[in-house]
Amino acid sequence: MEYALRIAPEPMKRLVLTLIMFGLAACALQPAQVSGDAWSYRLLPEDLPAGWALSGQDLYTASDFAAVAPITGTTGLTNAQQLYSARYRPPQNSQFADFTLDIIVYASTAEAQAALKVEALGDEWEQVEAALLGDESRVWHFRNPAEATNQNLYRVDFRYLNAIGSVSLFGAAEVLPNPDEAVSHARKVLAKMQAAPQPKALEKLQAAQLPDARALMLTPAQLKAALSDGVGWSLNNLLLPGWVNNEDFPNAEAQKTLNELGRVTGYQMWLVKPPVEGQATLDPAVGLFQQVSVYQPAANTAAGLKAMVGLPGTDELKDSPAIGEGARMWSALVPQDPNNRQTAFIATSEISFRAGRYLASVQLQSQPINDVTSLTVLRQNHDLAIVVAEALAKNLESAKP
């Protein structure tokens, strides 16, 4: 009997072992944090009801928060790394009036928890009962004034790991009698976070023991310092930064070539600089595109650099700048409207270079130029593009093993 008590029956042993393995698998599958860009979880046109459209969007990074507090309905921005804010326009003659979305990513879950905790909407709002979204959530209703009882404004705040989503929806009480519609939109954002808390591109880099390419990009602060600009740079809210995997290239032959060369993935970003009020001369640097591609092995970046096409319809410059381990450069006045030769021109300089396992590009653009007989702005643009490329190369050099 004593022996029998010490030895579990075989079916019970299998059950216990199965439960242990299931628990371990569940722990392994639980993501540590949301590591995608805030805007990668945004609501796309196909996610919205028929007739709704994006009317505006803004992107903010930690650099923006340090410079100036962005205008948003969310106050818990201490330690925020990114904020994506979108506004959506309802269909014509709709009884809905306003729809906004904020997505905020923090460096840690603790920081996101603290941010949600300090978010205060004031006495004008009342909290309403609703099902839990993500790890924690709250649903709010704006207390209708006596003269406007036929309308409702609901706001849904939720947290998933280190990310916060906030949806606000305003409309007539007839179409918005309760928070269900707002909760439905918030649930779509949450589903995107849960489906891809970590970008596939980042998974590829981590599997190859390579650094996050986003950390190698020039920040607005670095760009401002390199160009000695008095005005800060910011992300272009019309062209969202993002990962570019080999399968994202439209040409099947290009995909095959990149796979054979061992290109792991890449990241691209557009930045802009607002014009200086009262400036009399044309600014040779107001728009920047930068990208970094990661190769494995590093030697294959030479073939990748050779395949770069540069500015369409522009000959490569014979004297390439000495950047990284090899560079190619193009510089020209490019028509602002390619279909109209009478339009203004943009001084544009592009440099592609390789540094270790990285193949990078920068393209710098000027303000529109009406007098194409003067090449002064083009020369300035050319020289500043070299400065920008050198600054990016410095970032890449520091990431070498």
Is 18 a member of any domain? no
Bridge partners, 122 (sequence order)? none
- Which of these three, 168, 195, 222, is where a domain ends? 195
∠ at Cα 178 (175, 182), nearest 5°? 85
- Cross-strand partners of 103: 84, 165
Q: Are residues 273 and 185 in the same domain?
A: no
User: In which domain, by residue range, is 92 found?
Assistant: 38-195
Neighbouring C-beta atoms of residue 12, cutoff 10 Å: 10
- The per-residue pLDDT for 65 is 75
CB of 182 closer than 8 Å to CB of 155: yes
Query: Is 33 within the bounds of a domain?
Result: no
pLDDT one-digit tens code per residue, 134-159:
999 999 999 988 877 799 999 999 99
Nearest partner of 359 among 303, 292, 309, 264, judged by Cα: 292
What pLDDT is stored for residue 277 in this prediction? Answer: 76
For the chain, what is the mean pLDDT? Answer: 89
User: 275 and 160: one domain?
Assistant: no
Tell me what pLDDT residue 20 has.
Answer: 45
Distance separating alpha carbons of residues 167 and 190, to the nearest angstrom: 11
In this predicted structure, what is the pLDDT of residue 69?
53
Tell whether 205 and 103 lie within a shared domain.
Answer: no
| Residue 195 amino acid letter | A
Residues listed for the chain = 401
Residue 139's φ and ψ, nearest 5 degrees, are -120, 130
User: For the chain, how many structural domains are there in total?
Assistant: 2
Cα–Cα distance measured from residue 343 to residue 282, given in angstroms and rounded to the nearest whole number: 16
pLDDT, position 205? 96
- Grouping H, G, I as helix, E, B as strand and the rest as coil, residue 320 is coil
Distance between CA atoms of 163 and 138, rounded to whole angstroms? 14
DSSP string, 158-187: EEETTEEEEEEEEEETTT-SSTHHHHHHHH
The answer to the question of residue 385 being in a domain is: yes
> What element of type H or E holds 364?
strand 358-369
Q: With respect to residue 10, please indicate whether it lies within any of the assigned structural domains.
A: no
Query: Which residues does the chain have with pLDDT short of 70?
Result: 1-30, 67-75, 401
The answer to whether residue 3 sits within a structural domain is no
Would you say residue 266 lies in a domain?
Answer: yes
What DSSP designation does 31 have?
-
Q: Which amino acid is at 6?
A: R
